[in-house]
A = this chain, B = another copy of it.
Amino acid sequence: MACNTLVDITKLSPKFQELYAKAKDFVENDCIPAEPVWHEQMGLGDQRWKVIPPVLEGLKKKARSLGLWNLFLGRDYQEGAGLTNLEYALIAELTGRCPHIAPEAMNCSAPDTGNMEVFAKYGSPAQKKKWLEPLLQGKIRSAFAMTEKRVASSDATNIETHIQKVGNEYVINGLKWWISGAGDPRCAVYLVMGKTDPNNKNPHRQQSIVIVPADTPGITVVRPMQVFGYDDAPEGHCEIIFKDVRVPAENMVLGEGRGFEIIQGRLGPGRIHHCMRSIGMAERGLDYMLARVTDPSRRTFGKYLYEHGTIVSDIAQSRMEIDQARFMVLNAAKRIDEVKAKGAMKEIGMAKAIVPKMLGTVLDRAIQAHGAGGLSQDFPLAKWYAGSRTLRFADGPDEVHIAQIGKVELRRANDVKATFEKRDKTSQELLKKQSKL
């Protein structure tokens, strides 16, 4: 079992403990058992893009009645549940154990969470009324259209989509892909990142974000992108053409040229939520492994699987890696509580660099213990692995985070060298003094 005495849930507020217990019970006894129903109701083939499994709506109703709703919105937002980031992180680990159902059932699923934060933080009253309210009620879903096909858009200065003011409207032209959630029949609105001022000398003032209703003419959802062979219906990660798409000027968020500022504000806590859900997924992956390697029907050559080779060591490594990673995420969450996301960039970056890789490794070991079955639709392991793999690029590839962490460390070098010099001087004096004795 996970070892986590440093963050002791029994020392947190009784109110949170009660909420946590309810969330745990809901995930374990309502959401996880609903997984096979969800798959059955989803069906096969093209209809998967049209059907929302009824079981999910039931779970949403139940979650809302239990007060397990919109917990991601912290105390900074008046609409929020008042949880600290540390507290919500602990909840996110629970929902991560049932990643395709629990987060949505509790209205805490990406990309809606980040989008709701954008509306809550930067939206005008009218924008909030029109889009934030139904999102908070789980009536519609949303997408965030940033990534572009033809350029390396993780560097936002490369964005090619144009957002041009024409009269009292903005006209949008661009080619986006990997737009998560855009395939969902309930997806009603996109937040679209593009350039309103591509020639601005300040490369971080060129971008803006506009609200685009999903049914606006000129939008073509070309295809869902696949991840390993998964299309992740019904949400999907879609390729979308915006051709002369027109929206009223009041759909601009915060103001022209403030797109970069908005995405900066959007990323921090979301990364931590992803990370904590990944911890939950890793724990459940390890559970699957434990069950498999002790399954009497899987004995070979007279031995249980766990008696072969390096399985016990693999289990121990997974336990240690999960526990270490969890500390890094909880530390980052607590740090956000203390100094806001901007002050916690290093802690967030470390969690982001560590967790997706850890999750992949833990799941890969679990898969190996399951044999080919572990890669198949009969277990969720391969699908989760695919998800974990995307997290190694999402919100910046591992390499970027690692380089950033390294640079932050390197900033200490001058202080370190000054200390070395000071010490050397003290040592020299000491040597002289002692040799006189």
Contacts and interface: CB of A to CB of B under 8 A. Distances in A.
A216 interface: no
Given A416-B287, A420-B291, A383 B5 contact: no
A370 to B, nearest CB: 9
A17 interface: no
Interface string A15-37: 00000000000001100111111
A403 interface: yes
A50 B328 CA distance: 47
B353 A152 contact: no
Listed residue (A286, A316, A398, A402) with the most chain B CB atoms within 10 angstroms of its CB: A316
Nearest to A287: B416
A231 B226 CA distance: 13
Nearest to A4: B331
A5 B334 contact: yes
A272 B402 CA distance: 29
Nearest to A45: B45
Contact of A375 (B330, B371, B386): B386
Contacts of A394: 372
A150 B297 contact: yes
Contacts of A397: 368, 371
Given A310-B399, A325-B324, A398-B368, A405 B54 contact: no
Interface string A418-437: 01100100110011001101
B308 A403 contact: yes
Interface stretch (A104-112, A128-136, A298-306): A298-306
Contacts of A7: 6
A55 interface: yes
A350 B320 contact: yes
Contact of A412 (B1, B308, B323, B378): B1
A312 interface: yes
B354 A413 contact: no
A376 B227 contact: yes
B335 A382 contact: no
A389 interface: yes
B291 A413 contact: yes
A147 interface: yes
A231 B412 CA distance: 34
A194 B426 CA distance: 36
Give the secondary structure class of A's interface: helix
A101 interface: no
A174 B161 CA distance: 58
A338 B385 CA distance: 37
A406 interface: yes
Given A290-B410, A309-B403, A316-B403, A350 B430 contact: no
A430 B317 contact: no
Contact of A294 (B55, B382, B413): B413
Listed residue (A151, A299, A367, A413) with the most chain B CB atoms within 10 angstroms of its CB: A413
A204 interface: no
Given A319-B405, A372-B225, A324 B313 contact: no
A377 interface: yes
A225 B287 contact: no
Interface string A319-347: 11001110110110011001000000011
Interface of A: 1, 3-7, 28-29, 32-37, 40-41, 45-46, 54-55, 147, 150-152, 154-155, 158, 178, 225-231, 237, 286-287, 290-291, 293-295, 297-301, 305-306, 308-317, 319-320, 323-325, 327-328, 330-331, 334-335, 338, 346-347, 350, 353-354, 367-368, 371-372, 375-378, 382-383, 385-386, 389-390, 392-394, 397-400, 402-407, 409-410, 412-414, 416-417, 419-420, 423, 426-427, 430-431, 434-435, 437
7 contacts: A5-B338, A6-B334, A34-B430, A54-B434, A55-B430, A287-B412, A319-B409
Given A37-B434, A312-B410, 7 more contacts: A5-B331, A6-B7, A229-B229, A237-B372, A290-B413, A314-B406, A316-B405
